[in-house]
Structure 1
Amino acid sequence: MSTTEERRLEVLRAIVADYIATKEPIGSKSLVERHNLGVSSATVRNDMAVLEAEGYIAQPHTSSGRIPTDKGYREFVDNIAEVKPLSPAERKAIMQFLESGVDLDDVLRRGVRLLAQLTRQVAMVQYPTVSASTVRHLEVVALNPARLLLVVITDTGRVDQRLVDLGAVVDDDDVSALRGMLGKAMDGKRLSAASAAVSSLPETVQGPLRDVLVRVSTVLVETLVEHPEDRLVLGGTANLTRNVGDFGFPGSLRQVLEALEEQVVVLKLLAAAQHPGTVTVQIGEETRVEQMRGTSVVSTGYGVPGAVLGGMGVLGPTRMDYPGTIASVAAVARYIGEVLAER
């Protein structure tokens, strides 16, 4: 990169940083006053003219300063030299807060709340997908002779409890037999494989226990299959209303809020995040969602060693603190993975 190109990149960085901080169009005079660019105001004006011609900045109004375009934000993000790390105190507070979660649901809810508070954006996290989850243990508990409690625990930390009314009376030997058959069919299997194994179990049993097994297996299959409506946790949606003007045109914030209600849209935005430790930034039209063209999505994957469990991140207007947001998303995802790995 030539000296001139490096200087123009510095000018672009300064424009993005100042616009994010002030929300006001940036002029050459203010850039020279605020930043040690080492050149005259005339040179900065010339650099800004080139940046505007190349589509990195734009002039929203006649005689006003310049603001970054989506292309400008992309160039800024691609050239972030280093992301400011969280302080030791911040990292400790995050870890302690997440470790206090009692189960997977609680840990993910806490993670979303943290991200929303740290970034002041909408935070979102995807539940571990069926393809990534394995049955760690199944417990069968007799509440009374005609009712059972089934507890399914997965390697991702999720605990599902289901009640089954048997329509018949069973004794301790029957419960023990059920526990053994179901555990053998399910333990250590991916949820989809466990579901198939459980559904075929009644065919292998004769006598009175068959009808009981039909009822139990029906409930278990329903528990093991994926429910799209349960796959996401969102938090901090109200944060979007703090900066209504950042969404470009009247009604665009309403479109964003409506799109957030569509789980398939949010899951699509998180689909790019498949690698823990790698943060993906989608800016404006890069989201490929018409309602989201005034937003940016900063996302990553979270997981345990050897397995990506899902995606998580934040969504906000394109005018966002990218370095700080990237650092927060990466940190919370990493610590969620560490907490889940210990369980």
Structure 2
Amino acid sequence: MMQSRRMLVLRAVVEDYIRSQEPVGSASLARGHELGVSSATIRNDMSALEDEGYLIQPHTSAGRIPTEKGYRYFVDRLAKVVPLSHAQRNAIDAFLAGSVSLQDTLQRAARLLAGITGQIAVVASPALSKSVLRHIEIVPVAANVLLAVIITDTGRVAQHTLRVDPPASDELTRLMTVVNDRCAGLPLRSAADAVRALGMGPFAGLHALAECLAGVLDDMVDDDRAGEMYMAGASSLAHRRSDDLAPMLDALEEQVVIMRLMSALSEESGADGVGVAIGSETHTPGLLHASVVTGGYGGFTHGLAHPERGLSPDVGDGEATASQRRAGDGTEREPVAFVGSIGPTHMDYAATIAAVRAVARYLTDLLTNENPDDAGVYA
């Protein structure tokens, strides 16, 4: 019973410190929370929590503040993440619904999340290394020049020039029919291997073309620009007076480090979850006094983007990719990108988690052709 009450005291300290950012004393806890014990008993519990590493006392006469261990206990036992308010849901709908492209959507999502949380928001574009092939089209454009149009499940459209002798029209049509039948729904690297195998087997006469196309798919996966990242909120956070903010803002300059951290955190949390790294858990010196909240988006195999919003071209109303045929029930796969928030360790974790989850689900539904205006996605 004592241990259970002690943890209730810890929870109360974290909640009050997040709200006030002032050291919390036993008297204020006794007044503000129904803990059922005296101020003296609360003081003893706080002393024990300090000995156990959950709290620290910055000054001898001051109250206590949570440590990284205290925040971790609090986050792991959050009883409830309150859904966004009706006004906040409407803000997401209004702010993102007018997007004209995937890039525009991601930029807006970053600005929106920063506005909701008052913290730094980071949104990554879908990584081609995690994308699934939707459709390939090859069109002759000149002598010895073909244009390959490659469409992924996340709405990414890439055009690449293939400099090979063009085959006869019927041979090219037959090759593309087989390629799309066998490769649609495969990760780009696997699709490249499949195309290469076709050029060494049933389409040996088109070996040069198949090898060239496979090389393009491989290059798309290896393209460093596939991991573009959109950030918002840094300027407003910089205006706050805190010694802990300067290292955080410096760390944000290392975008590769932030990308790696948030991507790994989103993958660990799963397609529909939200991961939290606190202080030293980020393994980033500049974020020792910061917390990172990240969620993956786009982690469904049946996804198509909204053609009407400019995220992918129409390839035929009745057309379905191999992944849709195999996983029409919405089977989850690894998220294709992440959305996250970076702020001080005393951030409002429940509100931040709710905001990150809501924006991530909106982006997932946008890419998977669901209805992002369904209020259920914000729960």
TM class, shorter-length: 0.7 to 0.9
2: CA distance between counterparts of 1:15 and 1:246?
Answer: 22
2: CA distance between counterparts of 1:220 and 1:79?
Answer: 47
Identical pairs, percent: 41
Give deviations 1:152-194, integer Å, cap 9, x for gaps. Answer: 11122222233x27588x7xx8567545534533541321122
Quote how far apart the aligned CAs of 1:338 are: 1.1
TM-score by length of structure 2 reads 0.73
Query: Who is 1:217 aligned against?
Result: 213
Q: 2:178 aligns with which of 176, 184, 199?
A: 184
RMSD, matched Cα: 3.4
Query: Who is 2:229 aligned against?
Result: 233
Q: 1:87 aligns with which of 76, 80, 85?
A: 85
Please give the residue correspondences for 1:295-306 in structure 2 after superposition, counting only pairs within 5 Å.
Answer: 295-302=290-297, 303-304=299-300, 305-306=330-331
Residues 269 and 284 of structure 1, relative CA distance in 2, 3 Å threshold: farther
Quote how far apart the aligned CAs of 1:28 are: 2.4
TM-score by length of structure 1 reads 0.80
Q: Tell me if 1:8 matches 2:34.
A: no
1: CA distance between counterparts of 2:174 and 2:98?
Answer: 33
Contact residue 122 and residue 341 of structure 2 kept, 8 A: yes
- Write out the 4+ residue segments of structure 1 that deviate beyond 6 Å after TM superposition: 200-203
95-104 vs 55-64, which moves further = 95-104
- Letter of the structure 2 residue corresponding to residue 266 of structure 1: L
Contact residue 232 and residue 263 of structure 1 kept, 8 A: no
Quote how far apart the aligned CAs of 1:257 are: 2.7
- Letter of the structure 2 residue corresponding to residue 337 of structure 1: T
Quote how far apart the aligned CAs of 1:319 are: 1.2
Give deviations 1:243-269, integer Å, cap 9, x for gaps. Answer: 462628xx6335523444535643564
Q: 2:344 aligns with which of 282, 305, 317?
A: 317
Quote how far apart the aligned CAs of 1:110 are: 3.2
Query: Who is 1:117 aligned against?
Result: 115
Q: Tell me if 1:56 matches 2:51.
A: no
Residues 67 and 156 of structure 1, relative CA distance in 2, 3 Å threshold: same
Residues 239 and 182 of structure 1, relative CA distance in 2, 3 Å threshold: farther
2: CA distance between counterparts of 1:323 and 1:74?
Answer: 13
Give the match's secondary structure for 2:268. Answer: coil
Residues 267 and 93 of structure 1, relative CA distance in 2, 3 Å threshold: closer
Query: Who is 1:294 aligned against?
Result: 289
Instruction: Give 5+ residue unaligned stretches, structure 2.
Output: 301-329, 371-379
- Letter of the structure 2 residue corresponding to residue 184 of structure 1: V
1: CA distance between counterparts of 2:189 and 2:134?
Answer: 14
1: CA distance between counterparts of 2:368 and 2:17?
Answer: 40
Give the match's secondary structure for 1:111. Answer: helix
Please give the residue correspondences for 1:1-343 in structure 2 after superposition, counting only pairs within 5 Å.
Answer: 2=1, 4-130=2-128, 132-141=130-139, 148-162=146-160, 164=161, 166=163, 174=168, 177-178=171-172, 180-182=174-176, 184-186=178-180, 187-188=183-184, 189-198=186-195, 204=203, 213=209, 217=213, 220-221=216-217, 223-236=219-232, 237-243=234-240, 245=242, 247=244, 252-253=247-248, 255-262=250-257, 265-267=260-262, 269-270=264-265, 272-302=267-297, 303-304=299-300, 305-306=330-331, 307-310=333-336, 311-342=338-369
112-121 vs 124-133, which moves further = 124-133
Contact residue 189 and residue 218 of structure 2 kept, 8 A: no
Residues 96 and 339 of structure 1, relative CA distance in 2, 3 Å threshold: farther
Quote how far apart the aligned CAs of 1:342 are: 0.6
Instruction: Give 5+ residue unaligned stretches, structure 1.
Output: none
1: CA distance between counterparts of 2:212 and 2:95?
Answer: 37
Give the match's secondary structure for 1:309. Answer: coil
- Letter of the structure 2 residue corresponding to residue 234 of structure 1: Y
